[in-house]
C-alpha cells in the first residue's frame, strides 16, 4: 500500500477480467470468452509438441467450462 504501481509487474494482469467479488470491477464474461478464443487460436497455430498443445487446449477448455459453473474436467 502507498507504493506506486510498477506496470512491468505481471500482477497488473491479475484482474484483467474483473474480480469475482466485483473488485476492482465485475467479471466480464464476454472479455473472458474473447481472451480464451484468442489464446485457443494462438495455440492451434503454435509449432509446439502435440501433447503440450493438447494439454494447454484442455486447460483453456476447462477454464471456459468452469466459468459457467460446471466443475468436471475432460
18-62 pLDDT per residue, tens: 777 777 778 788 888 888 899 999 999 999 999 999 999 999 888
Task: Tell me the whole-structure pTM to 2 decimals.
Answer: 0.61
7-39 per-residue burial string, b: 16 or more CB within 10 A, e: under 16: eeeeeeeeeebbeeeeeeeeeeeeebeebbeee
Q: Do residues 24 and 18 lie in contact, with contact meaning Cβ atoms separated by under 8 Å?
A: yes
Query: Grid coordinates in use for 66?
Result: 468452469
Amino acid at each position: 500500500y502507498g507504493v506506486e504501481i510498477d506496470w512491468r509487474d505481471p500482477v497488473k494482469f491479475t484482474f484483467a477480467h474483473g474480480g469475482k467479488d466485483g473488485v476492482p470491477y465485475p467479471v466480464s464474461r464476454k472479455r473472458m470468452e474473447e481472451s480464451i478464443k484468442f489464446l485457443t487460436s494462438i495455440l492451434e497455430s503454435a509449432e509446439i509438441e502435440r501433447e503440450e498443445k493438447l494439454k494447454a487446449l484442455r486447460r483453456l477448455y476447462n477454464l471456459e467450462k468452469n466459468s459457467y459453473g460446471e466443475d468436471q474436467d475432460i
